[in-house]
Amino acid sequence: MRLLHTMIRVGDLDKSIAFYRDILGMELLRRKDFPEGKFTLAFLGYGDESENTVLELTHNWEITGYDIGNGYGHIAIGVDDVYAACDRIKAAGSDVVREPGPMMHGSTVIAFVEDPDGYKIELLSEG
């Protein structure tokens, strides 16, 4: 067994794809419209789905936004340098909502950013 994907619902699919692709460096692996159901699925990731866990973005055509709720935590992405990643994200015009630094009660360097829908993404130093 292996984890295949995580799905989140998004209000503006093109804006969300641009964030995950252009700012976080994921590749758009596939995208498919389902006209009868009035929704589109887009799968993004850092490698082929046959070997990597990916992110599924679901866009319901008649809905422009969602309440994230208090059960959602975050998506975690490993990066070589959290400080440099945050500099790139800020330069691209996206929000860093927790500046880089050691995690509370630990030494791992982390930061948090938000995607266009307000979902939190944790950046972790892999070094």
Task: From 47, 71, 64, 77, select the one nearest 9 (Cα to Cα).
Answer: 64
122 assigned to active site: yes
Helix ranges (H only) for the chain are 13-18, 82-91
The helices-and-strands tally (H runs, E runs) of the chain is 2, 8
pTM equals 0.86
What digits encode the pLDDT tens for the residues 49-103?
999 999 999 999 999 888 888 778 899 999 999 999 999 999 999 999 999 999 8
The residues that bridge with 120 in the sheet, in sequence order, are 114
Decide: 65 and 16 in contact? Cβ < 8 Å.
no
Domains of the chain: 5-60 (3.10.180.10), 75-125 (3.30.720.110)
Strand partners, 78: 124
Question: In the structure, what pLDDT confidence band is assigned to residue 127 with cuts at 50, 70 and 90?
Answer: low
* Residue 20: C-alpha distances to residues 70, 99, 110 (Å): 23, 19, 18
Q: Catalytic: which of 27, 49, 62, 122? A: 122
